[in-house]
Structure 1
Amino acid sequence: MNSPVSALHTDKYQITMMYAHFKNGSHLKRRAFDLYFRSLPFGNGYVVFTGLERVIHYIENLHFTEEDIEYIASLDDQFDTAFLDMLRSFRFTGDIWAVPEGTIVFPEEPLLHIQGTIMELQLIETALLNFIGYQSLIATKAARIRHIVGDDLLLEFGTRRAQEKDAAVWGARSAYIGGFNATSNLLAGKQFGIPVSGTHAHAWVQDFDHELDAFRAYASAFPNQTILLVDTYDTLKSGVPHAIQVGLEMKKQGKKLLGIRLDSGDLAYLSKKARHMLDQAGLTDTKIVASSDLDEHTILHLKSQGAKIDSWGVGTKLITAYDKPALGAVYKMVARLEHDHWMPTLKISSNPAKISTPGLKSLYRIIDKRTGKARADFITLLEEKIDPKKTLVLFHPQQTFKRKKVKNFTAIPLHRAIFKKGQRVYAIPTLEEVKKYHQTQLSLFWEEYLRILNPEEYPVDLSKKLWNSRQTLIKEIYEQIKHELEE
């Protein structure tokens, strides 16, 4: 069902670090990494986590072929034969925890937590960031569009503008999770079971001497699913009148013109005029589909102008995440296993937002029992337990004066075990189950967090113990640097 991804789908420095660890004798040391992102895309209030299924298939099939090893050996780095021999038997042997696909997530949350040998954890970094960053972006963009259109039909039309085949196929899947109803991509339909949709292009009309003949021929070929593209020449003077003529002919035959499609021009004006013309002709059931470089902002404006559009075909600006082409996900080491004890580690930056959160952690969603709505997400040290009978004190990790107390709550753990000792222990849900789960996730949040314009910031807080651990480690690192400078 899914073509294996090459082990060489990585950055060169992952291989060079693997080799350096091999030469240093540290390649089998156990380490822990978190994958997360730092800021929200599109000015949105959340991200839809997507990409886990592809990560799972990648990890399960991860190995080096003889061709891969021959290529690595051909590089100028002069890798030892022993290292290349080790790559021949390489398989992932670590542990992975992740939030389920479709989960609503926020900055600084550990979406994946991975433990294993430093060698294998370095190798997989690039691919994991690639899969999750892109797919989560598309699902989030799709969710924004769904939020604007309400119950209107949403069609993903982006394949021809996507960044190559894989982006088109997996982007279609992500869009479906985020709320779209169908895709134009047949491979995505076959591979994932997504409903497919499509009509005809302008070339179909241009291939006939007369537009009316083109419409009649198409309706004859597809009498039960006729949607006609009406803007090849003149939408209101030619396209819509000819579509109406064909629609009335079909009606006499006991058939129905399902819709017309507008792909250019003033969509608000044209849709209102076309709707009036269709209704006047008695074709009140014929729907109007619109395309033409649409996104959530354009659709919002069209709706505010009273556009009479029933279905939306969205392509370029969805599949390319046009206004935010990268999520900026990161993958950071958080702990080192030394003498059977996990030692927390972090990356420090002059920018407080880029200081990582050390240690093995758990991620919880705090749900108010009275409203059933999420109050905050809460990150704790792995060994910490949350007692729902006690008042939970939440505070902002940077602006610690921002505090609130929460009572009468449920703490829902968000992480699921995916791999244990290299073996998958997680049952991959169907795409429909992921889509349904995403809808239940949305229901946990107030509209203030979901709106696409100026959403309220959702709280993601650290436990007091985790916050103290982070501050202590920062202090220790700076004291060590100071001591080394004084020597």
Structure 2
Amino acid sequence: MSEVTTTDLYEVTTALSYLREDMRAPATFSLFVRDLPPGRGFLVAAGLETALDFLSRFRVGRSDVQAFAEALRRPAEDLEPLHGLSFDGQVRAVPEGRLVFAGEPLLEVTAPLPQAQLVETYLLSLVCHQTVIASKAARCVLAADGRPLVDFSLRRGHGPEASLRTARLCAMVGFAGTSNVAAANRYGIPAVGTMTHAYVEAFPSEEQAFRAFARTHPGPVTLLVDTYDSDHGVAVAARVLGDLGLGRGCAIRLDSGDLGALARRSRTALDAAGLADVRIIASGGLDEYGVDRLVRQGAPIDAYAVGTKLSTAADAPYLDAAYKLVEYDGRPVMKLSPAKATAPGPKQVFRGPGMRDVVGLANEDPPGGTEPLLRTVMRGGLRVEPPETLAAARARFEADLAALPEEARRVESPVAPVPGVSTRLTVLTTVVRHRIEARTGAGRTVRG
């Protein structure tokens, strides 16, 4: 049984019916976000690399058919049409690291209808989770205003695999390192860590703990000072670092209490001890809101470690995303449900200066002075180019972030740009809507 079976049951029943009805013509599905989560002025496109990996190896094997049959309580022979189904379609997508807004497709899949249908759930899961996390991490970067950030999310993330992705996404948007050793090795991210409270508690005193740690790690060390009393811990750390002649590159870490006030007292104590080179790192329930408040208060904190609220995107943990059919066998289609209507046809996003975006049709010419965001990344089920590097995604992110309007960059009460809609897409939407209404009676007023 493979990851093919990690899907909603109705994807299986729908794809099977398409095969039984010989509905195998090309279909285009668009994956987009209807509305930005509260408190967001933008999203960071993410998850494309893992999505392409999934599509590249997608194939329904014999054990998958058996799993589907058991889930449906039907003989495996009934599910036989699904056996051997693989993905050989095309994907157009916004590259990772680019900023996107509500109503803009993050990716579009064009493939024989059963294939395009069966990959829906997994693609949504990959793209939605990673876009949520990358967007939260990007806001932390904005809040830190140039101060280094470190990912401390592994122990509180939604499982080890999700935490690996979180570390990668944090690096993509500019974090300086991660505590996750596996992620550091897999993605070439600097590994960063300090010490545990348990380590300090295991020794008779803080001073003995700090001296023992420095003996084991003679290079720059970071001492955790809040196990008992932060002010006392800072004084002990200053004494140990001074005695050992350590300073440049070393740090103390504050992990609880009033971080702003503690940081100010700690800075004064360290400077008085001749340890102006010793940095202050803050952690403990921080996210962009906490970091933003500390930065605006002028707290003398040199770096921030964020974890729990980042890895769970605590204030906005999901996207109102959809994967909707927009064309089948050359026929534009749309959904008319109230508050969930979709626009027909394969699309493109045309970006102008100042993040002035226009959503149009994929086959229309770009308006003057704009660039298309979606590009072809898979053709015939194969990647068009090798997997991208984190550096490439980070460069795109930094360029887009620099161009983002100030009101969308705000941590508190941001205002997101609203994309326009091209004339051709508006006309097509009207034509398709009228066609559907004429055929189904949708939109007519019901009279009692």
The letter for the 1-side match of 2:427 is N
Does the alignment pair 1:365 with 2:357?
Answer: no
Among 329, 332, 350, the alignment partner of 1:344 is 332
Residues in 2 aligned to 1:108 and 1:79: alpha-carbon distance in whole angstroms? 42
Q: What do the CA deviations read for 1:42-82 (whole angstroms, capped 9, x no partner)?
A: 41211000101100111111123443232223234425627
Unaligned runs of 5+ in 2: none
C-alpha distance 483-170 of structure 1, shift in aligned 2 (>3 A):
closer
Which residue number corresponds to residue 12 of structure 2?
A: 15
Q: Hey, which bits of structure 1, 4+ residues long, moved more than 6 A?
A: 483-486
Does the alignment pair 1:328 with 2:320?
Answer: yes
Which residue number corresponds to residue 241 of structure 1?
A: 235
Distance apart, 1:483 and its partner CA: 8.8
Residues in 1 aligned to 2:2 and 2:185: alpha-carbon distance in whole angstroms? 19
Query: Contact 1:247 / 1:257 at 8 angstroms: preserved in 2?
Result: no
Residues in 2 aligned to 1:207 and 1:65: alpha-carbon distance in whole angstroms? 53
Q: What do the CA deviations read for 1:236-283 (whole angstroms, capped 9, x no partner)?
A: 12x1111011110221xx664610001111111111101000000000
Unaligned runs of 5+ in 1: 368-372, 389-409
Which residue number corresponds to residue 299 of structure 2?
A: 307
Residues in 2 aligned to 1:104 and 1:260: alpha-carbon distance in whole angstroms? 35
Which residue number corresponds to residue 420 of structure 1?
A: 379
Which residue number corresponds to residue 395 of structure 1?
A: none
Q: What do the CA deviations read for 1:292-332 (whole angstroms, capped 9, x no partner)?
A: 10011112222233321111110110000001111121100
Q: How does 1:68-217 map to 2 (within 5 A)?
A: 68-78=64-74, 81=77, 83-84=79-80, 86-217=81-212
C-alpha distance 426-247 of structure 1, shift in aligned 2 (>3 A):
same
Which residue number corresponds to residue 383 of structure 1?
A: 363
Which residue number corresponds to residue 404 of structure 1?
A: none
Residues in 2 aligned to 1:445 and 1:209: alpha-carbon distance in whole angstroms? 53
Among 267, 270, 276, the alignment partner of 1:278 is 270
Which deviates further from its counterpart, 208-217 or 66-75? 66-75
Q: How does 1:383-462 map to 2 (within 5 A)?
A: 383-386=363-366, 388=368, 410-462=369-421
Residues in 2 aligned to 1:31 and 1:134: alpha-carbon distance in whole angstroms? 25
Query: Contact 1:19 / 1:79 at 8 angstroms: preserved in 2?
Result: no
- Which secondary structure does the structure 2 equivalent of 1:380 belong to? strand
The letter for the 1-side match of 2:34 is R
Which residue number corresponds to residue 64 of structure 1?
A: 60
Residues in 2 aligned to 1:191 and 1:272: alpha-carbon distance in whole angstroms? 37
Taking structure 1 as the reference length, the TM-score comes to 0.87
Which residue number corresponds to residue 258 of structure 2?
A: 266
Query: Contact 1:224 / 1:255 at 8 angstroms: preserved in 2?
Result: no
Residues in 2 aligned to 1:460 and 1:449: alpha-carbon distance in whole angstroms? 13
Q: What do the CA deviations read for 1:100-121 (whole angstroms, capped 9, x no partner)?
A: 1000000111111111111111
Taking structure 2 as the reference length, the TM-score comes to 0.95
Among the aligned pairs, what percent are the same residue? 34
C-alpha distance 432-199 of structure 1, shift in aligned 2 (>3 A):
same
Residues in 2 aligned to 1:34 and 1:70: alpha-carbon distance in whole angstroms? 30
